Structure 1
Amino acid sequence: METYTIKTIEKVMAFATNFVPQNQSSFRGVINSKFDLTPSVGRLPSIGSPQLEIEREKFLLREFKMKAAMHVNIKPENDWEWLSLAQHYGLPTRLLDWTTNPLTALYFATNHSIEELYSDEQLTDGAVYLLISHIYIDASYHINPFDIEETLEFHSPIISDRVQNQSGSFTVHPNPRELFNTEKLTKFIIPGELKREIQSRLSILNVVESNIYPGLDGIAKALKVKYYRETVTNFGAFDSSHYAKKQIKGL
């Protein structure tokens, strides 16, 4: 995997809006450039043998199915679709989230809490991973996701508005504890000092919380960010009095 640092805001936005890959491509944004490509279930504490870990993974999905059934509008038809849904709502799985939209990946690479973005603390470097020309499957794939023997790229049907709004796709990994690396990956580091300006430009392009996270939670997050940003702009959070800073932090 090759690694590059994009050093200016102009080059970052050109990458995200004008990048044309040779073939189909997917992007993944991470808030910290030191984060590697390991599925969330592979980051859980070890419980011994690989077989025991697979059983735990299956148990997690069974529990999710039972408790989520009454909350879904379109019921997933197989484990591929259930894993897709569970991944988007935070269940540890063998999937890694990707998107076909580089702006969405850039959002996740720079999406610190609003309190962090408008503080005077130094932000960590983020990164956007680019994956080109991998092996595509869909939910009709004949092998169960717990039985695959190679890393595949999975395009789920639209069973969640989050999948649709985030232009989501996934990689599915046979050995979730292994770091994903291939010559078809490229890593672009986003300097921390550019993140505030990137988030501001993304908001102009309407890449905002209410679109990334459709629903009431996304609306609430978007309103908080909008009000926070306007308060900082109008009153100067970095130079305001101690009292004003306390008020802004409470938003």
Structure 2
Amino acid sequence: MEEISVSSWSELMGLTARLDGWAFRGQMDARWPLLTSLERYLSAYLPDRSSWRLREERAIRIFRRKAHNYLSDPSVLDNDLRCLALMQHHGAPTRLLDFTKSPFVAVFFAMEQSNCDAAVYALNTPRLFTAAPRDFPDMDRDAIDPRTQGNFERYFQPNTNAVLWVGEPTEMDRRLVAQSGTLVVPGILGRPLDEILQEYGDSDALLKKIVLPRSMRDEAMKALYRMNITNATLFPDLDGLARSIGLELETVWQVDRA
């Protein structure tokens, strides 16, 4: 994985312009590895990895049994990827990693609440759309597609396949649309994304880590505000509006009284 440090908003703009078609993920601490919420939860509280598959299966099963009470269309639970995306967006630990097709959305998530150097990870999705692990050339994106019935159970839940899939559910929810979101599904829990990508060849060409210094937060957040990238637009509901008020506390427009 190539690591790049930038020092200004204009430098970041120039860099991301050269990564056309890539996907991006912002993390508020540049020291954090690229691990899913499920990996972090299990590692912290249930370190016995031999039980992880059964625990993940149970969590999904419980969600499916109960979530229908809150859904106007419970059929969304039938598709593995849509079910996982729904769990993820409502706060459940899952093996999904949220990315976005917008580098600016990624910068927002990286810097909004950061008090240290943050990072945006850039993933070469155009190349990954046709790539497969070197040792498993038949396991390309189409072959392991978790939207296909049975593939999630076959290729991902065993936690033995060093593969990853990038894409969106066939039908996207409002948050995924608002955030220009895309999802990364790893086949192994407990290994950071950059380690899995080593199975695909040149990891420097597939993943870049862009370090954002704490000193550029003010400049970045003001630029994103002018672009209408706020919690209110990224989470199009009352919760998003309420979360956006924090940034409003920082924003004061000078009034020209001349």
TM-score range, shorter chain: 0.7 to 0.9
Instruction: Map Cα deviations across residues 99-158 of structure 1 (whole Å, 9 max, x no partner).
Output: 11111111111120xxx7xxxxxx211111111121445553244324313211132133
Deviation at 1:47, TM superposition (A): 4.6
CA gap of 1:105–1:139, structure 2 versus 1, over 3 A, is: same
Structure 2 spans left out of the alignment, 5+ residues? 130-140, 156-160, 198-202
Q: How many residues align?
A: 219
Matches within 5 A, 1:75-224: 75=74, 76=76, 77-112=78-113, 123-132=115-124, 133-135=127-129, 136=141, 140-148=147-155, 149=161, 150-181=163-194, 182=197, 183=203, 184-224=206-246
Percent sequence identity over aligned pairs: 26
Aligned counterparts of 1:151 and 1:165: Cα–Cα separation in 2: 24
Deviation at 1:175, TM superposition (A): 1.3
Deviation at 1:20, TM superposition (A): 4.1
Instruction: Map Cα deviations across residues 3-46 of structure 1 (whole Å, 9 max, x no partner).
Output: 00011222123345x3443xx42111100101111111111223
Aligned counterparts of 2:69 and 2:173: Cα–Cα separation in 1: 14
CA gap of 1:166–1:102, structure 2 versus 1, over 3 A, is: same
For normalisation by structure 1, the TM-score amounts to 0.79
**Are 1:81 and 1:139, in contact at CA under 8 Å, matched by a contact in 2?**
no
Corresponding residue to 2:250 among 229, 246, 251: 229
- Which 4+ stretches in 1 moved above 6 angstroms? none
Partner residue of 2:135?
Answer: none
**Are 1:146 and 1:174, in contact at CA under 8 Å, matched by a contact in 2?**
no
Structure 1 spans left out of the alignment, 5+ residues? 117-122, 235-251
* Root mean square deviation of aligned Cα: 2.1
Aligned counterparts of 1:142 and 1:65: Cα–Cα separation in 2: 16
CA gap of 1:207–1:15, structure 2 versus 1, over 3 A, is: farther
Partner residue of 1:68?
Answer: 67
For normalisation by structure 2, the TM-score amounts to 0.77
